[in-house]
Amino acid sequence: MLIRLDLDKIPVMLTIDELHRLACEKGEDTYIDPATGYQVLTSQAHLKRGICCGNVCRHCPFEYINVISPPE
């Protein structure tokens, strides 16, 4: 018996970079991290804020300037 897969109906897991890019393209300030369910701010949301908040945000466009121990 052969089983035929309809690839259009199989959910695709997007990477964090893809989710971020899509959210930015839509003008959204956040997206949901599929692994944790947490809301993640986009770099655009951070730019609207205007400064680094110091919380080691995933998409910080300010190069973690206010973080005491920046990620490597």
Structure tokens at 8: 């259009």
Of residues 2 and 42, the one with the higher pLDDT is 42
Task: Give the pLDDT confidence score for residue 7 in this predicted structure.
Answer: 56
Position with higher pLDDT, 39 vs 12: 39
Report the share of the chain in percent with pLDDT over 90: 71
* Sequential DSSP letters for 3-69: ----GGGS--PPPHHHHHHHHHHTT-SEEE-TTT--EEE-HHHHHHH-S--SS--TT-TTTTTT-SS
